[in-house]
A and B are shown apart, each in its own frame.
Chain A
Amino acid sequence: MSHKFFLEVSELGKDFAPVAFGRGPVVRAVQNVSFNIRRGEVVGLVGESGSGKTTIGRMVAQLIEPTSGSIRFDGVETTSLTRRELRRMHARVQYIFQDPFASLSPRMTIGEILVEGLDIQRIGSKSERVAKAAQALASVDLPPDAISRYPHEFSGGQRQRIGIARALTLAPELIVADEPVSALDVSIQAQIVNLLRDLQMRLGLTMLFIAHDLAVVEYVADTVIVLYLGRIMEMAPSRELYASPQHPYTRALLSAVPSPDPSRHTARQILKGDIPSPANPPSGCVFRTRCPVAIEACAGAVPALREGAKGHFKACIRDDLD
C-alpha cells in the first residue's frame, strides 16, 4: 500500500528531565502533536518561546529522540532506527540553523564545510564531492572562489547562504529550516526567504519552516501550524490562517505584530500576563490563562484539535465566536 504523506507525525511528545540533579519538575516541551506533510509541501511551525517548535524540528530531523509518538518518513518509522539506518536517514533530512555565526566551524574552509556531509555518507569520489560542493555554492549565488575561504570572511547573509548550500550538497528530500532568517537584517532577510522559496520550488523540496515571525512564514509556507506551550492551537492552509484565524491565540499573535504602515493602526489586542512555564503548564487548554475569551469549561479538559472548514483545524471549544 502506498502512503499518502511524505512525513507523518503522530501523537508526538517530548519531555526533558529536570536539570538540577534530577530535582524539580519534568519539562513537557511537546505534547500530543500530530501533522502530515506531503511531498513538495512547505509547512510553517510558528510559536513563541517555549512553544516546542524547535524541539519538534529536531525530532523530525532525528537529532533528538521523541519521548512518545511516531514519525514516519516516506513510510518508514524513524523512532526505532539502528545507528546505521539513522546515518542513511540523515542524508535525506537536512537542517538549516538559525545562527550563521555559530553553525559554521571557523577552522574549516567553505569547501571543507560543504563536503563534510558527503565524506561522512561516503558519496562519490573526491573530485565528485568537490564538484557537488561547487554546484551547491552556485545554487545559493555565491562566487566559486568562496570555496577556499573561511566563514569569518563572509557577512551574516552570506553565511546563511553557506548553511543552505551545506544542506543542499546531500540532495536531501526534507529540509528543516529552524529560524533561518531571524538573525539577519531586514534587507537581507527577504533575499534569503526568496532564495529558500526558489530552491524549494526548483528542487521540489519538502520543508518544515520554523519561525516566530508570522509575516516571514506567510510567504514560504503552504500550511501553517501555530503552537503554544508544546501543543497545536491551530493548523490551516496559509491563505486561510492569515485571512480568517480561528483560534484566539492566533488572533492575538497576528494582532501583536507591529505594522510599519501608519495608516494601518487599529487598536491592538494585548494579551495579559506571561507565557506559563512548560514545566508547569495550565490544566485543560494551555492558553486559557491568557485567553480573552476563556470560560470555566476551558480548565476542564484539553481541547481536541477539530476540523472546521476543510483542512482548517483548531483546538478551542469556543465555536460561538464570530
Chain B
Amino acid sequence: MSAEPILDISGLTTVFRIGDREIAAVRDLSLSVATGETVALVGESGSGKSVTSLSIMGLLPRGIGRIAAGTLRLRRKSGETVELQNIGGEALRRVRGNDIGMVFQEPLTSLNPVYTIGEQIAEPIRIHLGKSHREALSDAIERLEDVGIPDPSRRAGQYPHELSGGMRQRATIAMALACNPTLLIADEPTTALDVTIQAQILDLLGRLQKERGMGMLFVTHNLGVVAEIADRVVVMYAGSVVEIGSVARVFSRPRHPYTQGLMRSVPRLGTATLLKEAGTPLPTIAGSVPSLMNLPQGCPFAPRCPHRLEACEQAYPPLADAGEDQFSRCIRWQEI
C-alpha cells in the first residue's frame, strides 16, 4: 500500500437496532484510501457497502444505526488527523463537504429543488472557505466548467428540474468538489444513469480524480464499473469483507469463492451467444444472500459455497494474506 493514507479505517463494526436486537450491518472492516488512489467497495444488496460509506460520513440514521467499534482516521486538508467516530455536531460539519466530498446515486434527491444550481454549489464554498457571496458564485461557475457543463454561467442560474439526469449528476459532482476535498466518496453515482451517460460520468470522475490527486472511495454493485475506475477493490458479502486487493489481481485471479462466482455470473458481451448456442445455462451462484438477522455461524458465504467444508460452518474465517497485497476471507484460498 502506498504512502500515507487519507482515510484509514480499522475494525469498523456498524450495528442497527431492530426491535430489541442489534444487528451488525458491517463487521470488522478495515480499509485505507491513499492520495490519488481509487478504491472500489463492491457488493450486492445487504453487503454493507453503503452502510460503510454512511459510517464514514456520519450519516447513519440517528437512534437506529451506530458505530459499535473501530477507528476511522481522516487526514484533513490542513494535514491534521481526525478520528471520525469520535467527532459529531459542529466538528463533523466542518469536515463533511470540506475535506470529504460526497456524490450519491440519485442526483434529484441530493439537489434542493428550490435553489439554483449555482447557489447550491456556492453554499459550501461560503461556509467552509469563508468566501463572499459573489466570490463563491464565481467559483461555483468555475466548478461547473470543470465538470464539463456547457454554458456554465447560464446553467448556474437554473434549477435542478431544468437539467437532464446526466447534467444533474455533473452538478452534484461540482458541488462535492466545491471545497477541493482530499477524499471523494461516490456511492453508486452512475447506477441511475443510462449506459452512454454512465460512460461520460466515469470518464469525468477518473479525470478529476487524477487532476486533483484526490483519494476516491467508489461504492458500486457493478463489477464492470470497478474494472473501469478503481485501482483496488474491496469485495463485501453480508457485512464482511471477503476479499481485498488490486483490481488487476482480484479480477484475474479471485481468491474467494464469492468473488469467483460473482465474476462468472456477470453477463459478458459476446460470450452469451456461445453459451446459448452450446445450450449451456449462464453460470450462477446458487441460493440467495442471507438475512443479516439470521446469519449462519462461521463463514457467511458457506451455505452457497461450492467449496464448503465442515470447518467453514464452525468458525468465522480470518482474512488470510494471499500475497501481493491480496487478502481472502476463505480458509481454502490456496486450493480454489
Tell yes or no: A283 within 8 A of B by CB: no
User: Residue A187 contacts which of B194, B198, B284 (CB distance < 8 angstroms)?
Assistant: B284
Pair B273/A239 contact, Cβ less than 8 Å: yes
Pair A260/B195 contact, Cβ less than 8 Å: no
**A262 and B276 in contact (CB under 8 A), knowing A190-B284, A194-B281?**
no
**A261 and B194 in contact (CB under 8 A), knowing A194-B281, A270-B203?**
no
Tell yes or no: A193 within 8 A of B by CB: yes
Report the separation of the CA atoms of residues A11 and B223 in the bound assembly, to the nearest whole angstrom.
39
Report the separation of the CA atoms of residues A184 and B306 in the bound assembly, to the nearest whole angstrom.
22
Report the separation of the CA atoms of residues A216 and B269 in the bound assembly, to the nearest whole angstrom.
8
Question: Chain B 230-272 against A: per-residue CB contact (8 Å), 1 yes, 0 no?
Answer: 0000000000000000011001100000000111011111101
Q: Chain A's nearest CB lies how many Å from the CB of B255? A: 16
Tell yes or no: B227 within 8 A of A by CB: yes
Q: Chain A's nearest CB lies how many Å from the CB of B304? A: 8
B interface, size bucket: 35 or more
Chain A residues contacting B132 (CB-CB under 8 Å) are: none
Q: Chain B's nearest CB lies how many Å from the CB of A269? A: 8
Chain A residues contacting B277 (CB-CB under 8 Å) are: 239
Q: Of the 9-residue stretches A15-23, A52-60, A169-177, A207-215, which lies at the interface with chain B? A: A207-215
A interface, size bucket: 35 or more
Closest to B164 in A: A274
Closest to A181 in B: B267
Chain B residues contacting A259 (CB-CB under 8 Å) are: 224, 227-228, 268-269
Q: Chain B's nearest CB lies how many Å from the CB of A266? A: 12
19 A-B pairs in the complex with CB atoms less than 8 angstroms apart: A48-B195, A157-B288, A190-B283, A198-B281, A215-B266, A216-B267, A218-B269, A218-B270, A219-B273, A256-B199, A258-B222, A258-B224, A258-B225, A259-B224, A259-B228, A260-B226, A260-B251, A261-B227, A274-B197
Tell me the B residues contacting A by CB distance below 8 Å: 44-45, 164-167, 194-200, 202-203, 221-228, 247-248, 251-252, 261-263, 265-270, 272-273, 275-277, 281-285, 288-289
Known A193-B282, A215-B268, A258-B225; further 5 A-B contacts with Cβ < 8 A: A186-B266, A190-B265, A215-B266, A260-B227, A260-B251
